[in-house]
Amino acid sequence: MLPRLLPLRRLARSPTARLRGSTAGSPLSSLFSTSQSDDSWKFSHISSDGSSPQMVDVGSKRVTRRSATARSTIRLPPAVLDELKRIGREQGGELLTGPKGPIATTAIIAGVLGAKQTSSLIPFCHPLPLEDCQVRLQVVGRDTIEIECQVRVTHKTGVEMEALTGASVAALCVYDMCKALSHEIVIESTRLVEKTGGKRDFSAK
């Protein structure tokens, strides 16, 4: 049975009480509990009793050089990609140009802006003074655009979310720049490719 919904006014006054009431003693509470014996499966953004979300305290962490790279893959109808190339040749500009203008340049700017705004979009991400953000686009085959976003910082927490957000926003920008030609455009995936610094490094297989 679903828990009884609180009136909006009462919920606004006591959001954590609402969460406790809906998760205590439930499978969800058990899933989010950070008292599990296997530390590798703890949810760092959930309180120890599993009742509410929380920001991670990074005060005691060590400052290290950190980087992360994320990749988004966009699939377009081959005819759309051909049209973007035709417009680019006709206008003497970028390889890929759409009805709204140069696609790569606009998507790169959007990706950098997205990475810089990550803490405003993802609630528990810390605001970070990014030292570098590089966004690259490349055409793969006849129907694919790949976007990579690489972010670097020297800080107490990593930049995986900044890289993922940058790649995602750049992909959304490509969709927006191309949707006048077709809505059969699919953002197929966004994933972390690699990260360095912090507790452990990561490289996608």
Q: Which long-range contacts (CB under 8 A, 24 or more apart) does 97-101 make?
A: 98/177, 98/178, 98/180, 98/181, 99/177, 99/180, 99/181, 100/176, 100/177, 100/180, 101/177
Residue 76 CB contacts under 8 Å (≥ 6 apart), including other chains: 143, 144, 145, 178, 182, 184, 185
Q: What pairing do the DSSP bridges indicate for beta strands 97-98 and 101-102? A: antiparallel
SS3 152: strand
Which listed residue (38, 39, 82, 176) is catalytic? Answer: 176
DSSP state of 55: -
Residue 49 appears among annotated catalytic residues: no
Nearest to 34 by CA among 23, 50, 54: 50
Neighbouring residues of 141: CB distance < 8 A, sequence distance ≥ 6: none
* Residue 36: HSE in the Cβ half-sphere, 13 Å Cα cutoff: 16
Catalytic site positions: 176
